[in-house]
Amino acid sequence: MSMKDLKKDFPILERKVNGKDIVYLDNAATTQKPNQVIEAISNYYKNNNANIHRSVHKLSEEATAAHEGARKKVGKFINANEREIIFTRGCTESINLVSHALRLKKGDSVVSTTMEHHSNIVPWQLLKDKGVDVKFVGINDDGTLKIDEFEKLIDDTTKLATVVHVSNVVGTVNNVKEIAKICHKKGCKILVDGAQAIPHMEINVKDIDADFYAFSGHKMLGPTGIGVLYGKKEVLERMEPFMGGGDMIKEVFLDHSEWNDVPWKFEAGTPNIAGAVGLGVAIDYLKDIGMKNIRKHDDDLMKYGTEVLGKIEGLKIIGSAPERIGAISFTLNDIHSHDIATIVNEDGIAIRSGHHCAQPLLNALGLEETARASFYFYNTKEDIDKLAESLEKVKKIFA
């Protein structure tokens, strides 16, 4: 089956917008959901809805099995032990969990980069009131990281370095395995923001040697409100809980409590059970296609998109890293990105505009905003052709 044939699994892609067939090119923001995921969530609520871990009745046993079964699927998908998989509300919460649970103190430091999504900058800035120093690795003009700066910035005070695997703006694929080696040689841990990587490529957290790897379900065909934090078991066991409440404890007394085992120590309260179920089915779907096949298709679209959009006079593609995936950001003459996105929407085309929650990156590139087209396996070369045709209309309007 070709990638194009898979479109039939996505009901929203049959919609028309402004009388035109929808062309969805905003996948870096969120991916669409196949029928299999939608039906799995519906089926859970229709047939298995109950709270987990706390009851012996049939529905609870089924719900618990479905939830923990999803945890096992996630573990296998990234080559991790299921006990190293923590369910969160999304990549943002996963990063915040680490920022809180590491209990960093005055005199400690964190190294991040100017390429990060705001979700991997702001949580560390919030630690400044505790006396934690935050330092940033810069970027080159082509949208690649100055990796040698990790060597310079990580010192004896650095407890964690954190880096995006794939940029949501320029699509740069960072060599996180090399960065992990630098971190461990220098004696600090590494957290990888994998939100934009995991939909497009095979992820092996053991091979990367990441101490933490975070991602969201909704960017990989799953529902919103479910995310994952992978952490090395020995690291998680030394960390303090993120939140207090039910299910993260073994016993509670008035003067103290005893924490549950990892990963449940970090999962206070009733989790998003249906979200975990949906994420598990999304992983099944991706595995059926094959991540290598998805990566090849995405690489082909990136190459084609770069060629086609690059031929439009006045259009400038932002970033030219040797390895890019998923997204092409661009400017078009001096036309504001919101105007571009508004006009192509009239042709049923959905793209992103603005700073993409990555203002430090854009500022480093001398920009305030861009338009962004981001692709997934259900996109086609025809989608890119339609975007190019629509962009020519934009130029004429502002000529």
State the catalytic residues.
Answer: 357
Residue with tokens 């479910």: 226
Which tokens go with 234? 């020995």
Which tokens go with 253? 């007394």
The 10 Å Cβ neighbour count of residue 117 is 22
3-class SS shares of the chain: helix, strand, coil, % to 5: 45, 20, 40
Name residues whose C-beta falls within 8 Å of residue 102's C-beta, 6 or more positions apart in sequence: 159, 160, 239
Give the SS3 label for residue 219.
helix
What residues does 328 pair with on adjacent strands? 373
Q: Which of 325, 281, 286 is nearest to 305 (CA)?
A: 325
C-alpha–C-alpha distance, residues 104 and 188, integer Å:
13
In 165-226, DSSP assigns E strands to 189-193, 212-216
Q: What amino acid occupies position 263?
A: P
Which tokens go with 147? 């990796």
Q: Which of 315, 301, 398, 389 is nearest to 346 (CA)?
A: 389
Across the beta sheet with 315-318, the strand order is 315-318, 327-332, 370-374, 352-354
DSSP-assigned states of every residue in 119-150: GGTHHHHTTGGGT-EEEEE-B-TTS-B-THHH
C-alpha–C-alpha distance, residues 343 and 367, integer Å:
21
C-alpha–C-alpha distance, residues 99 and 242, integer Å:
9
DSSP-assigned states of every residue in 28-48: TT-----HHHHHHHHHIIIII
C-alpha–C-alpha distance, residues 169 and 373, integer Å:
9
Q: Which of 257, 239, 275, 361 is nearest to 63 (CA)?
A: 275
CB 200 within 8 Å of CB 295 = yes
